[in-house]
Amino acid sequence: MSKIVRVGKKGVVVIPVEVREALGIGEGSLLSLDVAGSAIVLRPLRPLRVRLGSRAQEVVRDAKGEELELEEGLRPRH
C-alpha cells in the first residue's frame, strides 16, 4: 500500500486512516522508526505482554502454584 503524505509543522506526518486501521495503530500507539538507506520505516511497537495473551496468565498461575507448594513444604507439620 503506497500513500503520499505531506510533512507539516514540526515534522508531523499524518498516517492515513486506512493504514492505521490495517496495522492496529491508534492514538497513543508506540511506533519504531528506523532509517534504511534513504527510506524511513515505521513499525507498530507491540509490548511483549500484549503478545503473550492468555499464556501470561497461565505462567503467573503456575508460578503462584509453585510458590504455594514451596510454602507448604516449609511449614512445620503437627
User: Domain map of the chain by residue range?
Assistant: 1-46, 47-78
C-alpha neighbours within 13 Å on the C-beta side of residue 49: 2
Output the pTM of the full model: 0.54
Residue 44, SS3?
strand
Would you say 16 and 3 are in contact if contact means Cβ atoms under 8 Å apart? yes
Q: Give residue 58's pLDDT band: very low, low, confident or very high (50, 70, 90).
A: confident
pLDDT confidence of residue 48? 61
How much of the chain exceeds pLDDT 90, in percent? 51
Confidence class for position 51, pLDDT limits 50, 70, 90: low
CATH class name, domain 1-46:
mainly beta
What value does the mean pLDDT of the chain take?
A: 84
Q: Give the per-residue pLDDT at 18.
A: 94
